[in-house]
Amino acid sequence: MTERWLEELTFDECVTRLREHHVGRIGMVTGEFPLVLPVNYRLVELPGKHWIAIRTRPGNVIERAGMNVAFEIDEIDPDRREGWSVAVRGTLHRVDADAASFKSRFDPHPWLLHEREAWMVIEAFQITGRRLRDPGEDWSFELPDQI
């Protein structure tokens, strides 16, 4: 095989990547147009549930967003022309950061701390991912000229 190909990531591979990374993008519709913003996040895992926790400024565009949102993380290697992405579709909810020790257990530690006291979670109803594979990855050895 000499061409790159897309393959689906398993649910467990997607969750692992969400667990390992801490910067992503939230997508929402505001004023009838889509908007995508970078955010720091933390994956919250409860039995049968996966939430993306974020902190933002009270009253900003994320806190005012509609309920239906998307979230995405990815990693790209432009030199090798390969990478992966994980997409989450879900609903956005406000959270009382002091309830159930949420603040101490799931703080996403935003890079901008000033006034980031509105806590939100994306309750995921779909988590999917894809990987663009390099065919050389599976055949990373060369046969000698003489056998």
pLDDT digit string (tens) for 22-73?
999 999 998 889 999 999 999 999 888 999 999 888 888 998 898 999 999 9
The DSSP result for 90-121, as a single string, is: EEEEE--TTGGGHHHHH----S--TT--EEEE
Q: Could you give the domains of the chain?
A: 5-137 (2.30.110.10)
> Is 127 in contact with 18 (CB distance < 8 Å)?
yes
- Quick one: which of 12, 67, 73, 75 has its CA closest to 45? 12
* Residue range 61-99, pLDDT digits in tens: 998 898 999 999 999 988 888 999 999 999 999 888 777
> What is the spatial distance between Cα 45 and Cα 132, in angstroms, rounded to a whole number?
27
Give the model's pLDDT for residue 34. 94
Q: What is the pTM of this model?
A: 0.81
d(CA 89, CA 85): 13
